[in-house]
Amino acid sequence: MLLKGRNLVKSEDFSVEEIDQILSLSQNIIENPSKYSRVCEGKLLATLFYEPSTRTRLSFESAMCRLGGSVVGFSEPNSSSVSKGESLGDTIRTVSCYADAIVMRHPVAGSAEEATKYTEVPFINAGDGGNQHPTQTLTDLLTIKSLKGSLENHTIGLCGDLKNGRTVHSLVKSMSRYKGIKFIFISPDELKMPKYIKDAIQEQGHAYYETDNLDEVLGSLDILYMTRVQRERFENQEQYEKLKNYYILNKSKMQNARKDMLVMHPLPRVNEIDVDVDDDKRAVYFKQAKYGMFVRMALIMKLLGIKEVQNDLEEVAID
Ligand code: CP
C-alpha cells in the first residue's frame, strides 16, 4: 500500500515492507543529505506538543527544515487555545486547515487515535501517554539495522520501566514481526511489561524471559535497551523514589557485556546509565538520537508523497 496520506498512530500501522521502504529512504538521505534539502519546499508541518520533548519535537522540526519545508506549532499547550478549553478535535480540525501534516504528543493514552478522527492531513503520533511512540520505534529500527546490519536474529534485553515506557511497547510489538528475535524483559515486579504486549509477542511465535536481575542476563545480549523510570506516570511519588535507581549501568558492569553489544536508550536518561559509559563504543544512544532525525525526514517524505531522489548512477544513465 502507498504510504502517501496515511496516519501513524501505532507501530503496527505500517507493514514490515513499508517500514523497510522508510528505512531504505533514511539510509539514502544519510548518504546524500544535500539532494533532499529542497524536496519539501512549500510544505508545512505542524508540531503540537502537549507534553515536554527535546528529541522528538526538535528532530521532527529539524527534519522538515532539512527537507526545505517549514514548521508551525506549540511546545507549550498553554500558549494555544487549549488553555481556553478548546477540545482536541477542534484543535486538530483547525490545524488541518493550515498544515500538510500534523505531529502530536499528548499525555493521554489513546489521544492519537482520537485525533485521527478529525485530521484532514497525515497525522503522526509523537507519543500518547504510556501507550505508544511509533517514531521512536522507527528510530530504533534504523539504529539496529544500520549498526547490526539486520533486524533479524537478535537477543534484545529491555531494562527498566517496562510498564510505563511507551517506547518499549512500540519497539517490542514491531520487533516481534522479525525472525529469530528473543526478548528478555528486565524490570522490578512493579514495572513489568504489560500482559497485552507479552500476549502479542507470543502470538507471533516468540519466546520471552522475565527477570529483575540485569547482571544475570547481560552477557547474553546483542542489544541492551535501557529506559528511564517514568516519574510523570507515577501516582505515588514514594514508589517512584523507591524504584528510580533500581538499575544503573556503569563502566564496571559493561565489562560483562559482549564486545559487540549495543547499548540503546530513547533518552532522556536520568541515572540509569552512568556517564562513564558514554565513551564506550557500544554506547550508541546519541547516535540513535541522530538517526531519529533522518528517519523522520524519510517518514515526512513518504506521508506527503514526495518522490525519492535518484542517485548519481541513475541520473548519469538517464542522461
Ligand atoms: N525519546 C524521546 O521521545 O525523547 P523526548 O521526550 O525528548 O522527545
DSSP codes joined into one string, the chain: ---TT--BSSGGGS-HHHHHHHHHHHHHHHH-GGGGTTTTTT-EEEEEESS--SHHHHHHHHHHHHTT-EEEEESSGGGSGGGGT--HHHHHHHHHHH-SEEEEEESSTTHHHHHTTT-SS-EEEEEETTTB-HHHHHHHHHHHHHHHS-SSS-EEEEES-TTT-HHHHHHHHHHTTSTT-EEEEE--GGGPPPHHHHHHHHHTT--EEEES-HHHHGGG-SEEEE----GGG-S-HHHHHHHTTS--B-HHHHTTS-TT-EEE--S--SSSB-GGGTTSTTB-HHHHHHHHHHHHHHHHHHHHTPPPPPPHHHHHHH-
- Looking at residue 311, what is its pLDDT? 63
Ligand 1 centroid, distance to 214 Cα (angstroms): 24
Atom of ligand 1 at shortest range from CA of 267: 1
Q: Is 84 a catalytic residue?
A: yes
Q: What local confidence, expressed as pLDDT, does residue 319 receive?
A: 33
Tens of pLDDT along the chain (319 residues) come to 799 999 999 999 999 999 999 999 999 999 999 999 999 999 999 999 999 999 999 999 999 999 999 999 999 999 899 889 999 999 999 999 999 999 999 999 999 999 999 999 999 999 999 899 999 999 999 999 999 999 999 999 999 999 998 999 999 999 999 999 999 999 999 999 999 999 999 998 888 999 999 999 999 999 999 999 988 888 889 989 999 999 999 999 999 999 999 999 999 999 999 999 999 999 999 999 999 999 999 999 999 999 887 765 443 333 3
Task: Check residue 227 and give its pLDDT.
Answer: 97
User: Would you call 177 a catalytic residue per the annotation?
Assistant: no
The confidence score (pLDDT) of residue 248 equals: 97
CA of 123 to the centre of ligand 1 (A): 18
The binding-site residues of ligand 1, defined as CB within 6 angstroms of any ligand atom, are 53-56, 127, 133, 136, 266-268
Measure 286 CA to ligand 1 centroid, in angstroms.
12
Mutate to test the pocket of ligand 1, among 53, 104, 296 (most ligand atoms within 8 A of CB): 53
Please tell me whether the overall predicted TM-score, pTM, comes out greater than 0.85 for this model: yes
